[in-house]
Amino acid sequence: MFSSYMLSVITLICINVVAVTGLALLTGFTGLFSFGHSGFMSIGAYAAAILFVKFNVPYWAVLLLGGVAACMVSGIMYPTLRLKGDYFAIAALGFGESVRLIMDNGGNLTGGARGFGGMPTLTKWPGALLVAALALILMRNIIRSRFGRTLIAIREDKIAAQSMGINVARNQYFALAISAFYCGVAGAMFAFFMTYLQPMMFDVAKSTELSSSVVFGGIGSLSGSVIAAVILTAIPEIFRPLMQWRMVFYGLALVLTIVIKPTGLMGSKELSFSFAKQFVRKITSASKRGSRGESKPKGKK
Amino acid sequence: MSTLFQQIINGLSIGSVYALIAVGYSLVYSILSFSNFAHSSFLIMGAYTGFFLISTNLMPPLLAILLATIVSGLFAIFIERFAYRPIRAKGGKSLYYIIASLGISIFFENFVVAAIGANYRTYPSLLPYKAIKFWGLRVSILDLVCAGIAIIFLILLEFFLKRTKVGMAIRAAAFDLTTASLMGVNVNFLLSVVFLIAGFLAGIAGVVLGIKYTVYPQLGSLTTKAFIGAILGGLGSLPGAIIGSVCLGVIEACTAAFISSQLRDLIVFLILIIVLIVRPHGIMGVYVDDKV
Amino acid sequence: MKRVAIAIFATFILISAASVYGADTTGPIKIGYLAHLTGDASVWGIPETNTAKMAAEEINAAGGILGRKIEIVSMDSRSNAADAVNAVKKAVAEQNIVAVLGSNWSGINIATSSVCAEAKIPQISSYATAVKVTMNDDGSVRPWAFRTCFMDPYQGKVIAYYLNKELGKKTAAVLYDIGSDYSTGLTQYFEDNFTKLGGKVLGKWAYKAGDVDFRPQLTQILSKKPEVLMIPITYKDISLVVRQARELGMEDTVIMGGDGASPAMLAMAGPELQGSYWVKHVSPEDPIVAGIWKKYDAKYKPSGEYANIYKAYELVYFIADIIKASGTTNGETIRKAIENCKDFKIADGLLTMDPKTHNPLNKSAVILQAVGKELKFVTKYAPVD
């Protein structure tokens, strides 16, 4: 029913969803934009590949270890969190490029620019869907926890949060670490999808793609980020002939989104069936003269 | 170590262009407190406009370059008016500015690739690619002219900020935008002027870069280095932007020459992190805490 | 998980819209051509693709093969391995291509080789020169990957031998791109061979793609006074490097590089490049190559990339003749035919494939020199131990 091509696109979507979900916590819920998260994907990918090929560590273990490796490296960005978001964004850019440079200089360990291969195609659509689903469930729980609410408080008003006794930098760092973990896992999945890695596969363009998905989907909406990841991975495949103009529209869409509706596609609402029902109800009641002014609880399930 | 002086000259040359870019970027940052990543688009606009105007041979090159900077300036005003002002009206969250400017830079760079082509263009030879030799060192004529242009523009900027009424208003606004507006400063007009200047600086930087390194759509990626230079010198401080950028140029040259050319950018990144740990506000940064 | 369900549902809708095409086994024989149609590398990708189409038209005008026409399915790699993999998968699933020709970038070919292996169609690169394209790290060959050009180990040898034995140079410095598989590979093979001949590599300096100022590295290189500056990089960087090198006072040093060179670089740094040597796969003055080049320039926007134009032409005719000789488009059959081809007639001579490495035997290189506004043929060169 589904060609192997379509299945591989679905797999790729799942990989991007995992990465974007992690980033949604950092950018969407904590308000920190990053230009360098492909660096974490790179670390996860190479760690997983090397452990598998050279040390025969099994697939599911390397996925986790890839995430852990990325998480550990994220510590280097801590000093930038004490300052304004712009410092973090630019430092993240430097980080992503530095990771790439390290991989290029990895000699026999990473294969350098000539690449690292030998991974079998272990990331297939059933496994990928499973990981994506787990990632989403975990993230939803994180967001709903006290930690999640703390992050939103920081995003909305850093100073107010601080005066409430919240340690802003530490909480931002946890968000960063978690987002790094997610990207690391996504990178590991990617390594076993491509079966061959080159440092140039994880460049600024990839970082920007990931971070922008969160914006499109809606800052503060998890399902929005997922939908955006789906769309952004699927659209290039549908519109292959328009490849060159794809990035032009992409940039334009980013600007228009943020200028017209900064909260993105979904706003800070989550996708849910009750929301859909409510939407329908609103339309039908508004069509009658003088709506009754019922206030239903909004969006969040 | 015998090449140290030559490397310092190399570094100064690279750094002077970073400085030109960093000043425009820092100017916007000091007023609006956000990083205008679209600065690279202003730069590309200047580079390509200059290239096309000079290629048509309709006017003396100097006039073409001047026109190119004006076009960049107007482009910057356009961006401010249609992308940033609506965001400011809605509250001006730093994150939104960053994203909008990012979107603009992606849009513009790819637009140039799609519409004009990714091939690089060479500015017609306006200056000889020769070097002046003295004391065993070589300084290229091109570099001297470019550095000269950079210095002239920076002096003009300094004059404008210190000696004119509008300049004074800008300095006031850099300190506190809201209070300045309460004092009767027309904020919209002021911001247009600031962006015009930023556009000018980016435009001339674009022309200079185009002459030195050819014109191609990804030319704007050099602004990243300039941003790092601005951070090193202290975001929001104009002298800091210049000093930080020039230092960055020299550090890059010396690192590539004496430590490792393969790992240069990694080492620069580590230096950045160390600076942010030890002196978070850069060499000359004046950190004004957010006030409630 | 409601949200994931909805997301997946949305995906199905989007993707099913994309694959409405069905299988087609009676119409034209479809041959995929993988190339970079966007980005810096499009300077090679676009001529290759156009030439492939031109060759296909010629073959069709002469009656096609096995009673069917051939059709070139163009796949844009976007200079990006992930996109290339998707492009090939899509063409395989929707257009039923029987072979993949191109690209000229090793990384792209290595990444897409597993797709071709799974689809059981042969892949013949145009100018991908890294060893890994046809062979795994343990020395075993990749059954479905082939090439008809020489590799980087050979190219490194050519450069080293030519400099040392023909030009008598004993010291060299290298400036390479740390992020490029081509550049790092060629550097290593050059150094190995040059040192074996008794030459000395005084130092290797690197830069990162995107860098535009090489003067820190060049200043250090100059201070060591090498006889040769070897630059295994691509045309855009070559122009900037050589211009800056001359500016810093590099006058007597011989400059040589590999097949990343292109006539396009002379437009930018013509005066500075005079006298420099470059290795290419074929000569622009070879009558057959020149003939194909002229045909191309007459039909499309003129391009200086005669080598890629020639190669695309050769590949299309090669695969067409293989299919004709095999009498079928069956993957395994044509794969074996390519693997075992011996003295097979191609545009510019005879091709013998080495079944153990899937590389052609007896490919020599051509040395060109920048003279005036062109790259002029100096000699055909095959290093002799």
Of A94, A105, A244, the CB nearest to B113: A244
Reported as a pLDDT band with limits 50, 70 and 90, residue C238 is very high
Average pLDDT over residues A21-48: 91
| Token reading at A177 | 């670490």
CATH match of C152-280+366-381 with 3.40.980.10: no
Average pLDDT over residues C59-83: 88
Question: Which helix (H) or strand (E) element contains residue C147?
Answer: strand C145-147
* pLDDT per residue as tens digits for the range B204-250: 999 988 888 888 888 888 898 999 999 899 887 888 899 999 999 99
Average pLDDT over residues C30-40: 86
Q: Which residues of A touch C132 (CB under 8 A)?
A: 114-115, 117
* pLDDT per residue as tens digits for the range B64-87: 889 999 999 999 999 999 989 888
Average pLDDT over residues C357-374: 89
Q: Examine the pLDDT at A299 and tell me if it is beyond 60.
A: no
In terms of CA atoms, which chain C residue is nearest residue B114?
Answer: C38
Segment among A283-292, C303-312, C348-357 with least mean pLDDT: A283-292
Q: What is the pLDDT of residue C5?
A: 55
Of A87, A89, A215, the CB nearest to B276: A87
What ranges do the domains of chain C cover?
A: 2-149+285-354, 152-280+366-381
CB–CB of B98 and A250 under 8 A?
A: no
- Asked if the structure places residue B71 within a domain, the reply is yes
User: B46 CA to chain C: closest CA distance, Å?
Assistant: 18
- Asked if the structure places residue B283 within a domain, the reply is no
In terms of CA atoms, which chain B residue is nearest residue A244?
Answer: B114
Determine contact: C183 vs chain A, CB below 8 A.
yes
Contact (CB, 8 A) for A97 and A207: no
Alpha carbons A206 and A232: distance in angstroms, whole number: 12
| Token reading at B155 | 């002096």
Its sign, for the CA torsion B29, B35, B41, B47, is positive
| Helix (H) and strand (E) counts in chain C | 12, 16
Average pLDDT over residues C117-125: 92
User: B82 CA to chain A: closest CA distance, Å?
Assistant: 9
Q: Which residues of C touch B13 (CB under 8 A)?
A: 213, 215
Average pLDDT over residues B134-140: 80
Reported as a pLDDT band with limits 50, 70 and 90, residue B133 is confident
Average pLDDT over residues C192-203: 95
Average pLDDT over residues A173-202: 94
Q: What is the pLDDT of residue C24?
A: 47
Average pLDDT over residues A211-226: 81
Of A10, A114, A136, the CB nearest to C184: A114
Reported as a pLDDT band with limits 50, 70 and 90, residue B287 is low
Reported as a pLDDT band with limits 50, 70 and 90, residue C350 is confident
Contact (CB, 8 A) for C322 and C314: no
User: B233 CA to chain A: closest CA distance, Å?
Assistant: 13
Q: Examine the pLDDT at A179 and tell me if it is beyond 50.
A: yes
Amino acid in the structure at residue C314: E
Which range among B92-96, B192-196, C349-353 has the greatest average pLDDT? B192-196
Residues 232-251 of A with CB under 8 A from C: 234-238, 240, 243-244
Chains with 3+ CB–CB pairs under 8 A to B are A, C
Alpha carbons B31 and A93: distance in angstroms, whole number: 24
Segment among A286-295, B41-50, C207-216 with least mean pLDDT: A286-295
Q: Examine the pLDDT at A237 and tell me if it is beyond 70.
A: yes
> Does B48 or A292 have the greater pLDDT score?
B48
* pLDDT per residue as tens digits for the range C162-190: 999 999 999 999 999 998 989 999 999 99
Which of the residues C38, C183, C204, C215 would you substitute to probe the B interface, choosing the one with the greatest number of B C-beta atoms within 10 Å? Answer: C215
Q: What is the pLDDT of residue B113?
A: 84
CATH of the domain at B77: 1.10.3470
In terms of CA atoms, which chain B residue is nearest residue C179?
Answer: B262
Strand, helix or coil for residue C62: coil
Which of these, B270, B98, B89, B274, lies nearest to A32 by C-alpha position?
B98
- Asked if the structure places residue A287 within a domain, the reply is no
User: A113 CA to chain C: closest CA distance, Å?
Assistant: 5
Average pLDDT over residues C313-331: 91
Determine contact: B110 vs chain C, CB below 8 A.
no
Determine contact: A141 vs chain C, CB below 8 A.
no
Of A76, A80, A251, the CB nearest to B104: A251
Q: Which residues of C touch B133 (CB under 8 A)?
A: 249
- Asked if the structure places residue B287 within a domain, the reply is no
* pLDDT per residue as tens digits for the range A40-94: 999 999 999 999 999 999 999 999 999 999 999 999 998 888 777 788 888 899 9
Q: What is the pLDDT of residue A267?
A: 64
Q: Examine the pLDDT at C138 and tell me if it is beyond 90.
A: no
| Percent of chain B whose pLDDT exceeds 70 | 96
- Asked if the structure places residue A145 within a domain, the reply is yes
Average pLDDT over residues A110-119: 87
Determine contact: C14 vs chain A, CB below 8 A.
yes
- Asked if the structure places residue B289 within a domain, the reply is no
- Asked if the structure places residue B189 within a domain, the reply is yes
Average pLDDT over residues A144-153: 88
Question: What are the backbone dihedrals phi and psi of residue C367, each rounded to the nearest 5 degrees, phi first?
Answer: -100, 130
User: C128 CA to chain A: closest CA distance, Å?
Assistant: 12
Q: Examine the pLDDT at C21 and tell me if it is beyond 50.
A: no
Q: Which residues of C touch A13 (CB under 8 A)?
A: 11
Q: What is the pLDDT of residue A301?
A: 44
Q: Examine the pLDDT at C4 and tell me if it is beyond 60.
A: no
Contact (CB, 8 A) for C202 and C172: yes
> Does A244 or C356 have the greater pLDDT score?
C356
Q: What is the pLDDT of residue B252?
A: 94
Domain containing B106: what range? 2-278
Structural domain tally of chain A?
A: 1
> Does A175 or B169 have the greater pLDDT score?
A175
Reported as a pLDDT band with limits 50, 70 and 90, residue A197 is very high
Q: What is the pLDDT of residue C220?
A: 94
CB–CB of A4 and C89 under 8 A?
A: yes
Segment among A175-184, A190-199, C37-46, C306-315 with least mean pLDDT: C37-46
- Asked if the structure places residue B263 within a domain, the reply is yes
CATH topology of domain C2-149+285-354: Rossmann fold (3.40.50)
Contact (CB, 8 A) for A265 and A217: yes
Which of the residues C2, C3, C76 would you substitute to probe the A interface, choosing the one with the greatest number of A C-beta atoms within 10 Å? Answer: C3
CB–CB of B103 and A254 under 8 A?
A: yes
Q: What is the pLDDT of residue A286?
A: 59
Its sign, for the CA torsion C180, A34, B104, B16, is negative
Q: Examine the pLDDT at A293 and tell me if it is beyond 60.
A: no
Question: SS in 3 state form for chain A?
Answer: CCCHHHHHHHHHHHHHHHHHHHHHHHHHHCCCCCCCCHHHHHHHHHHHHHHHHHHCCCHHHHHHHHHHHHHHHHHHHHHHHHCCHHHHHHHHHHHHHHHHHHHHCCHHHHCHHHCEECCCCCCCHHHHHHHHHHHHHHHHHHHHCHHHHHHHHHHHCHHHHHHCCCCHHHHHHHHHHHHHHHHHHHHHHHHHHHCEECHHHCCHHHHHHHHHHHHHHCCCCHHHHHHHHHHHHHHHHHCHHHHHHHHHHHHHHHHHHHHHCCCCCCCCCCCCHHHHHHHHHHHHHHHCCCCCCCCCCCCCC
Alpha carbons A30 and B86: distance in angstroms, whole number: 23
Considering the entire predicted model, what is its pTM? 0.87
- Asked if the structure places residue B291 within a domain, the reply is no
Question: Which helix (H) or strand (E) element contains residue B196?
Answer: helix B187-213
Domain containing A198: what range? 4-273
Q: Which residues of A touch B106 (CB under 8 A)?
A: 208, 247, 250-251, 254
Q: What is the mean pLDDT of chain C?
A: 88
Segment among A213-222, C123-132, C269-278, C358-367 with least mean pLDDT: A213-222
User: C31 CA to chain A: closest CA distance, Å?
Assistant: 18
Contact (CB, 8 A) for C128 and C106: yes
Structural domain tally of chain B?
A: 1
Reported as a pLDDT band with limits 50, 70 and 90, residue B290 is low
Which of the residues A18, A100, A104 would you substitute to probe the C interface, choosing the one with the greatest number of C C-beta atoms within 10 Å? Answer: A104
Q: What is the mean pLDDT of chain B?
A: 86
Average pLDDT over residues A101-120: 88
Question: Which helix (H) or strand (E) element contains residue C75?
Answer: strand C70-76
- Asked if the structure places residue B292 within a domain, the reply is no
In terms of CA atoms, which chain B residue is nearest residue A76?
Answer: B273
Of A117, A132, A223, the CB nearest to C110: A117
Q: What is the pLDDT of residue B95?
A: 79
> Does A1 or C92 have the greater pLDDT score?
C92
CATH of the domain at A199: 1.10.3470
